[in-house]
Amino acid sequence: MWDPGITVLESDDPTTQETPWHRHEEGQVFLIERGLMTTDAGQGRWVMLPGRLGWVPPGVLHMGIGHGPVLAVELLIAPRHCARLPVEPRVYVCSVFLGALFNRIRETVADPDRTGHLLAVLLDELANARPEPLYLPMFQDPRLVRLARALLLDPGKRCDVAAWAAEAGMSRRTLARHVLAETGLTFGQWRNLARLLASLERLGAGESVTTVAFEVGYESVSAFIAGFRGHFGVTPGKYYRG
């Protein structure tokens, strides 16, 4: 018999809400219905937008930040049912089918057997779903961790690679080697990805594309739109309308 457990989380506080580092015995599948969240889980940072399903595996240490009012519905799933799902957090588009299935589970929670059948379908769908590119790999080297924090706090800061390397206490060549070894990305690729994910937070808060483009460090609005389309496949406007 399944016993998923369901919790509804809602915040109407317009300020940023931070959940301290913690872990759960269960796996978590949650639907973001309103607002925007970011989740840090050691290996990286994930951005959770409205209309997305998030996944956090059992036992993974993580923390969350809610950017403004957030409404999320969470399913807690016993570890024995999570074997086919990824061992790292993921974000998925919540299709019409997945959304209907998720909400049906909410409605049938009083009937564990029925809920179990529906949840099995949901987990099968997630096991075969393609995650969204909303993930920023993070570092283990303390020097790079400090650098990443500084860049995430001010993604628009105009420093070249040599300046960032000096801030980390490394040579430019050492910085490049360590970033590539830990993330599989060049420093420029990592920084650009960090800027794009930071742009999602600002766009989700209602800032204009023009304002966001310069806030996250792009030289022009057209360059920002091109970079956004290159990573997400659509322009910022179409992404949010979708």
Q: Which pairs count as long-range contacts for 196-202, CB under 8 Å and 24+ apart, including other chains?
A: 196/227, 196/228, 196/231, 196/232, 197/45, 197/47, 197/134, 197/136, 198/152, 198/155, 199/224, 199/228, 199/236, 200/36, 200/47, 200/49, 200/134, 201/36, 201/38, 201/47, 201/67
Are residues 109 and 162 both part of a single domain? no
- Spatial separation of the C-alpha atoms in residues 63 and 61, rounded to whole Å: 7
- 132 within domain boundaries: no
- Block means of pLDDT (10 residues each) for the chain, 242 residues, are 59 69 90 85 85 91 84 85 90 90 84 83 91 89 91 88 90 93 92 92 86 93 93 85 61
| Domains of the chain: total | 2
Are residues 10 and 92 both part of a single domain? yes
Last residue within a domain, chosen from 103, 127, 151: 127
Are residues 180 and 233 both part of a single domain? yes
Are residues 150 and 118 both part of a single domain? no
- 1 within domain boundaries: no
Are residues 120 and 151 both part of a single domain? no
Instruction: Report the CATH number that the domain containing residue 212 is assigned in CATH.
Output: 1.10.10.60
Instruction: Report the CATH number that the domain containing residue 23 is assigned in CATH.
Output: 2.60.120.280
85-123 pLDDT tens trace? 999 899 998 889 998 998 888 888 778 778 888 888 999
Q: What is the CA radius of gyration of the chain?
A: 19
Are residues 88 and 48 both part of a single domain? yes
- 51 within domain boundaries: yes
- Spatial separation of the C-alpha atoms in residues 110 and 112, rounded to whole Å: 6
Residue 171's pLDDT is what? 93
- 212 within domain boundaries: yes
- Spatial separation of the C-alpha atoms in residues 152 and 35, rounded to whole Å: 20
Last residue within a domain, chosen from 87, 104, 127: 127
pTM: 0.80
- Spatial separation of the C-alpha atoms in residues 21 and 34, rounded to whole Å: 22
- The range of the structural domain enclosing residue 10 comes to 6-127
Are residues 119 and 226 both part of a single domain? no
Q: Which residues contact 48 (CB under 8 A, 6 or more apart)?
A: 30, 32, 36, 37, 38, 39, 54, 72, 91, 134
Are residues 120 and 146 both part of a single domain? no
